[in-house]
Each structure stands twice: as structure tokens, then as C-alpha cells.
Structure 1
């Protein structure tokens, strides 16, 4: 274990790089960091977390994401960005539209419903079963991923990921072919998870196509995220699966389980198969 954890709201690396500030025209500004890169672009979950943080800033009475549907329209680049948040329905929960822009280009457009997870019981009742991962000490750390991958995917340096051995064959060029990726997860600086950070974690692991022998960039077209509860402190368990690839596209389903054995977030995305 490393030093004491960084709590949500402290100036961790994630908090610094997803920070937003109000602009005179009513929008929110952000500075997208190259540290969250995937090749020449930026990780989609990182972009979604920036938008999620902007929506939270615009809705102080409804601070938590409940459901978001995001369309990735063009690759984002490091540098200044603007988020426009437009209310669609206000009440106990709030539904808004939001666009992440760089210059005249919309990078990401989102429809989201926010609420206050503190008003819920915090209990998650599910028939789903948590992923059965090997103990941490038996898992394969992301620092053992191929050096070429780590040099291209700088976002991996932001995380401490421990891959279950059954899903880590791709490290050595021996993918299982099952279409599954599962790992223990935390931020490299031990920042504790919160609802907005889960938006990033849903897209943090390498594409599940690596386990199909199809390594490479798999750009997301659309991602729908459900946040079910505030995560307990500690390690998260993250599992991605896919069952179908057709028309150069594949789906990727993700579950995030917290240290209290609760399913706290889910997503499905449609992405392009790596070339």
C-alpha cells in the first residue's frame, strides 16, 4: 500500500485535470490535459468526467450523475475547452444537455440526469454477482503491460490496475479469446472514488478487444452510463465484456463494484473495432 488516500474534492491529479471554471457567457471552461491521452487523442472516460464535473458545477442541488448518454463526435486534444450546460427538466432530479467544445468543434455531446445520491438509502439490490478476481498479490499490474502500449496510452500511468491472470494473457500476446477484461482499480495517487470519477473508470481499462487478439485504439461512438450509488472507499473491481462484433463495431459492457461488494456503476458503449 502507498501513503494515505486522497479524498474526493482534494486537489488530486484527477481533480486538477477535470476542474472547470465559470465564464462570462455562462459556459464553463476547462483545460484538457495530455496526461490522459490515448495515442494522439484523449481518453473518452476522461472527457466524460470533465463534462460530468461541469454539470455538477451547474447543478449544486443535484450533484451526482445518475444516467448519462454520450456521443463522441470528434477527437479531443489537449488544451482549452468549453462546456455548455442547458437545462431540459428541473425537479427532484435534473435533466440537462451538455456539449464539450474546442473552438468551433463539438467533441462530445451528452444528455444527463443528475440527482442527490445522499437522499437514497445507499443499498444496491441486485441479482448480479461481483467478478471473481484473484487476490491483489496474484494479479498482474499495469506496469507490466507492453512498453509500446504504455508509451502510447499515457492515461494508464494515472491508474493502479491489477489484472486478473485469466484476463491478462494479452500482455504476452496470448489473449484468451473470451472477450473479457477484469481488474482491481484505483487512482495512482490513491484518490478515493466518487460518482463523477466513476464516469472515467467506466472507460479506463484497455479495450476488451485486446482479449480477442485485436489490440489497438477502439474509439467510442456512444456510451451510456448508470451510477447506482456512492462508492465506498478502497479498491474498485472493474469488469468489461463483449459478445458481439459486427459491421466493424463492437459493444462493451462494464460493471464497477466497490469495496463493500456493491454494483455502483454500469455502462454499455458501442465502439469501432481496432484496425
Structure 2
């Protein structure tokens, strides 16, 4: 049971400072895909460690290189401050389980309340049908995925087709409403989670395709999100030699862009998935993968 006033995400991403820039916590199986905690959830926890280490509230940019699969259980995050600036400060984090480094993060942090300068937006929020007319992600995935019990994810009907068998003519875009299943509002630390919570839109063309392990994930946070559901748009424009590039946008309930993401992942690489970071939400793991 969560403490009064604490959301499931807050509870499952909390850390304790162990001294010398080291933070300890636990990765929860509630946010897993198969046996592997979602990479955006893992990044969110690392964001909390770096924000505490730098004493700055907002991640302007966060990049993770996923070196080995994480697992539910104790985690240690070792931070190192690289530079303190007047507006942006930078630090790295090594996410450790046992004696193995699982993910290496680099983050640039700031305080949006002190930000001044030019504002420019040249794109609009995605057009999405009313939530009652959208399709729950749980109706599209071949098998239950733990993380989908924790998030609300509903796809616009125009992007909710062809997921199972694929269609060579389908566009590789999805649009969706995203939020927490327990009704909690999004915050800056949850944006990496939502940037990585859905299956690759490429599945609309090739069908569900086993593990898609992330090599690298970058999330740029633009502002603190307003309360309410997020609008999301994800698109894949390039796949080369089995390396998939995915671009994402997250917009808040006030119609403001709150985060951009870019991800590099491996498609149809079941052997590689045993050595790489984590996978996007899919169906059953390939034989031999747990």
C-alpha cells in the first residue's frame, strides 16, 4: 500500500541518499515488460538521483545508454557532477545492480522557473479522438504487460489498426492519450516513462515482432506539464539494417509541448535482446528469453 497522498509511480521511483553521491532504491516489477523494467521508468529513477545530486528540479535533457538488462530488485545509482553552470548543470549516473553497470546516463538539469529567452513552437498537438472512442493498448498487445496495469494508454482509432499482422502500406505513426491508471498527474520525472511506454509504431507495418531492445534513449523536457492527460505522437521514419529510430512528442492538457524523445532500438534481434538494455512492450519473449 502506498503512503497517503503518494501515487504508485512516486512510491516505485523513490530513492534514499546513501552518501557520496550514491542513491539507493528498488526497481519494481509493476513497471516491467516481461521480466525487464521499462527503460523509461528506469530513466525516471535516474532523473531523480541526478536532480538530487545537482540540487536542481528539472531535467532539460536526459540520455541513457542501455548496456545490460535491468531486473526488479535493489538498485544503486552512482552520480558524478561534471559541471555546474549558471543555467544548466551536467552530471552522469551509473545505474548498478550487483556489481554490474546496467545503464549509463548523462543529464543536463535546470530550473524552469528561472528560464528566460525566446519561445517558439512550429508544430501543433496531435489530433486525437475523444478518449471514449480510443482503443486501450491492452486490447492490442498479444499478452498482458505489467506496465499497462499502471498507465492509461488509449490509441486514436486511426493508428490502432494492423498491430497484430502488420500491413506494408500502414503508416508508422501512433497517436495516443497517456496518463497514470491511478489518476495521478504527470510530472517532469514521469515524462521519460511516458516517452517509452508504448510499442514501436513500426509494428503497424510489420506486426508484433518480439523484443525490440533499446540501445539509446534521449528525452528533452521543455516544461513542467499541466495536470491532466498527455497527448502523444510517436513516429518511425527510418529503419536501417535492423536499427530503428523513433521520434516522440508529449503535449500536456494545456496544449503545450512538454517533451521530445528520440530512441534507437534493435528490431528483430532476439539474440541481441539478451545482451542489450530493455525492450518495448510486446508479446511473449522469444524462446530462451526471460
After TM superposition, the score normalised by the length of structure 2 is 0.85
Aligned mates of 1:242, 1:56 — CA distance in 2: 31
Instruction: Give the match for residue 71 of structure 2.
Output: 77
How many residue pairs are counted as aligned between the two chains? 264
Query: Who is 1:91 aligned against?
Result: 85
Alignment of 1:126-145 (within 5 A): 126-145=121-140
Q: Report the TM-score when normalising by structure 1.
A: 0.90
Any unmatched runs of 5+ in structure 2? 270-290
SS in 1 for 2:182: coil
User: How has the CA–CA distance of structure 1 residues 123 and 39 changed in structure 2, closer, same or farther, with 3 Å as cutoff?
Assistant: farther
Q: In structure 2, what is the Cα distance between the partners aligned to 1:138 and 1:271?
A: 31
Gaps of 5+ in 1: 1-8
Q: Does 1:210 align with 2:203?
A: yes
In 2, Cα distance between the equivalents of 1:249 and 1:266? 20
| Cα offsets for 1:59-96 (capped at 9, x unmatched) | 22x11000112101000000101001100001222100
**2:173 aligned residue:** 180
The residue that corresponds to 1:255 in the other structure is 249
Candidates 230, 233, 237, aligned match of 1:243 = 237
- Paired residue secondary structure (2:94): strand
1:97 and 1:10 map into 2 onto residues whose CA distance is 31
Q: Is 1:193 matched with 2:186? A: yes
CA RMSD across the alignment: 2.1
1 CA distance for matches of 2:128 and 2:263?
Answer: 23
TM-fit CA distance, 1:231: 0.7
Q: CA deviation at 1:218?
A: 1.0
SS at match of 2:215: strand
CA 1:14–1:122: 2 relative to 1, 3 Å: farther
Q: Residue 165 of structure 1 aligns with which residue?
A: 157
Pick closer, same or farther for the CA change 1:106–1:29 going to 2, 3 Å.
same
